[in-house]
């Protein structure tokens, strides 16, 4: 086991462990980075900064800006691009290295121009960048899934002030997406229809949970929400992969941009803090042996955006809900617990 000494305590670097019961992967390790957010004099993500992390991709500027949206290497990555996952067993347990990609997606060159006040043309550029990054990372056969999410607000786990979302490419499919994929496959096997298309049809029909219809897109509050004011954005036309939808220009992206902007604006009248996550199809370069959802995936899955507002103070970053995250390993925890002074 890889360990490094630190003041006599052995710390484990970030790694992936599989829960043998739920079959969910978790990311764990002893996080030694500072917990308190650093107060920076100048923003390193603004175009004029000379401290910017390495650029991965960018979209051309609008009205003289050097870029309109930009992907950079995440300064404190949870996943690292080099090497093989080196999956191995240890008795009944499975573990692998946290190989993957972790990028920061800058939504706008302007420091104060968040999605809810940006122009639809700017948001459209950002959506194209997101699609390009997903498509690019799906070419890497090591990665089974590419997640894109945004944490806004201190209780959401926001790390940087500059308008940003994050992207992770992982060697496994995150738990929540896996549930959706299995459910979509099972529903399709029984009915030969997409469950998301059926939800959209019923919601449009019933018209009691629809927030807004704009062109080919709908915003609705799901029947069984996980948090108050949970909102989903979906295309009315069936499509499993967001990136294919965007890059083939099969819908009017300007409508999606406007719907996203308007929906966030609405949510901000209730609370400023939220998690946002894009759910698209997994990397089908991988033919899964244990799950055969790949066969009907283009028909049974339907990309969408979920917004999870934070109305109570107690919450964790969405990433950490999607992929359980523990900043203290069980080895370190048990040591500390054993050392704790307790009465006999
Ligand atoms: Zn900035
Ligand atoms: Zn559908
Ligand atoms: Zn979803």
Whole-number Å distance between alpha carbons of 143 and 169? 6
pLDDT, tens digit, 9 for 90 and up, residues 4-20: 444 556 787 889 999 99
Residue 198 CA to residue 95 CA, distance in Å, equals 38
The Cα 216–Cα 233 span in angstroms is 11
* pLDDT tens for each residue of 315-340: 455 555 555 555 545 566 555 554 65
Calculate how far, in angstroms, residue 334's C-alpha sits from the geometric centre of ligand 3: 35
Going from the Cα of 277 to the center of ligand 1, the distance in angstroms, rounded, reads 22
Instruction: Please tell me the distance from the alpha carbon of residue 177 to that of residue 175, in angstroms, as a whole number.
Output: 6
* Chain segment 72-108, per-residue pLDDT in tens: 999 988 888 887 888 889 999 999 988 899 999 999 9
The angle at the Cα of 29, spanning 70 to 12, to the nearest 5 degrees, equals: 125
| Of 67-71, 272-276, 294-298, the least confident | 294-298
Ligand 3 centroid to Cα of residue 98, in Å, is: 23
Q: With the C-alpha atoms ordered 251, 256, 259, 263, is the resulting torsion angle positive or negative?
A: positive
CA-nearest of 128, 145, 108, 129 to 319 is 145
pLDDT (mean) for 275-294: 77
Indicate the pTM of the whole model.
Answer: 0.86
Q: Nearest ligand to the C-alpha of residue 160?
A: 1
192, two tokens: 């030969």
- Cα–Cα distance for residue pair 316/306, rounded to 1 Å: 16
Contacts with 146 (C-beta within 8 Å, 6 or more apart), sequence order? 133, 134, 137, 138, 167, 168, 169, 170, 280, 283
Structural domains in the chain, sorted by start = 4-31+66-339 (3.30.428.10)
Paired tokens of 334: 């048990």
pLDDT of residue 332: 61
Q: How far is the CA of 66 from the centre of ligand 1 (A)?
A: 14
**Ligand 3 center from residue 238 Cα (angstroms):** 15
């Amino acid at each position: 086991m890889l360990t490094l000494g630190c003041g006599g305590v052995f710390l484990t670097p970030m790694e992936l462990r599989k829960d043998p019961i739920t079959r969910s992967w978790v990311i764990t390790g002893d996080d030694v980075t500072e917990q308190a957010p650093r107060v920076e004099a100048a923003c390193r993500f603004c175009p004029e900064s000379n401290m910017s992390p390495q650029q991965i991709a960018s979209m051309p500027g609008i009205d003289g800006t050097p870029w309109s949206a930009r992907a950079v290497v995440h300064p404190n990555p949870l996943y690292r691009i080099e090497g093989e996952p080196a999956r191995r067993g240890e008795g009944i347990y499975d573990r692998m290295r946290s190989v993957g990609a972790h990028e920061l997606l800058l939504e706008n060159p302007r420091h104060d121009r968040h999605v809810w006040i940006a122009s639809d043309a700017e948001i459209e550029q950002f959506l194209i960048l997101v699609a390009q990054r997903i498509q690019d990372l799906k070419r890497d056969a090591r990665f089974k899934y590419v997640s894109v999410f945004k944490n806004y607000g201190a209780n959401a786990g926001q790390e940087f002030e500059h308008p940003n979302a994050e992207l992770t490419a992982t060697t496994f499919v995150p738990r929540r997406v896996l549930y959706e994929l299995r459910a979509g496959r099972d529903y399709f096997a029984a009915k030969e229809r997409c469950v998301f298309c059926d939800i959209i049809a019923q919601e449009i029909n019933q018209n009691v949970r629809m927030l807004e219809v704009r062109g080919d897109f709908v915003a609705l509050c799901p029947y069984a929400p996980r948090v108050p004011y949970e909102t989903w954005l979906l295309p009315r036309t069936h499509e499993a992969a967001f990136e294919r939808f965007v890059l083939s220009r099969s819908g009017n992206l300007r409508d999606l941009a406007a719907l996203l902007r308007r929906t966030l604006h609405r949510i901000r009248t209730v609370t400023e803090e939220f998690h946002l996550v894009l759910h698209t199809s997994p990397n089908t370069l991988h033919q899964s042996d244990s799950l055969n959802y790949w066969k009907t995936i283009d028909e049974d899955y339907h990309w969408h955006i979920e917004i999870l507002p934070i109305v109570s103070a107690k919450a964790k970053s969405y990433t950490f809900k999607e992929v359980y995250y523990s900043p203290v390993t069980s080895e370190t925890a048990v040591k500390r617990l054993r050392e704790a002074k307790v009465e006999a």
